[in-house]
Amino acid sequence: MATTSRPQRPYKNLEAFRRRILLCPNSWDKRHPNKWPCLLCGGRGWDYHPGDQIDPVEGSRHRRHCECPDCLGSGEGPRKAVLEAYRKEIGKYEIAKHKYIQLEGAKKKALAKLTKEEILALKLLGV
C-alpha cells in the first residue's frame, strides 16, 4: 500500500517562524530588541548587487551590497507582514494535514471491507 507520511508542522509558533526568517538570529535580537524583521532581506538590510556573481576563489568577499528596497537598509519590517507570512505557511500545513487525514480515513474504510486474506495478498504485492 502506498504510504504517505503525515505532514509535519513547519513552525512551532510565530517566534520559531520569526527566527527562521532571520539570517543572523542571534545578533538580531541584540541589535533590534522587540522588532520584526524584513521578509525580503531576512533582517540584514541589504543584499548583494545583482550584477556581481560569486567568485569561485574569493566567494562573496568583493561583491557590492545594495540597500534593501523594502526596509531601506534598516532590516526591520512590520509585524503584520511576518504574521501574514506565518499564517500562510500554517494554512498550507493545515490543508496538507486535512488531505492526509481524509486519505487515511478512506484507506481504513477500504481495508475494513476486505478479508484478512485479501489484505495479506495486497501486502505481499506491495500495493
Q: Which of 22, 71, 82, 86 binds Zn ion (CB under 5 A)?
A: 71
Q: How far apart are the first and last CA of the chain?
A: 4
> Counting contacts by CB under 5 A, is residue 82 touching Zn ion?
no
Q: Which stretch binds Zn ion (CB under 5 A): 3-11, 21-29, 39-47, 96-104?
A: 39-47
Rounded distance, CA 34 to CA 41, Å?
18
- Please check whether residue 72 is in contact with residue 118, taking contact to mean a CB–CB distance below 8 angstroms: no
Pairing of β 36-37 and β 76-77: antiparallel
CB neighbours of 94 closer than 8 A, spacing ≥ 6? none
Please calculate the CA angle 31-34-35 and round it to the nearest 5 degrees: 75
> Counting contacts by CB under 5 A, is residue 22 touching Zn ion?
no
Q: Which stretch binds Zn ion (CB under 5 A): 5-13, 71-79, 82-90, 117-125?
A: 71-79
> Counting contacts by CB under 5 A, is residue 85 touching Zn ion?
no
Q: Which stretch binds Zn ion (CB under 5 A): 49-57, 64-72, 92-100, 119-127?
A: 64-72
Q: Which of 40, 81, 90, 122 binds Zn ion (CB under 5 A)?
A: 40
Residue owning grid cell 541584540:
30
> Counting contacts by CB under 5 A, is residue 41 touching Zn ion?
yes
Residues making contact with Zn ion (CB under 5 A): 38, 40-41, 68, 70-71
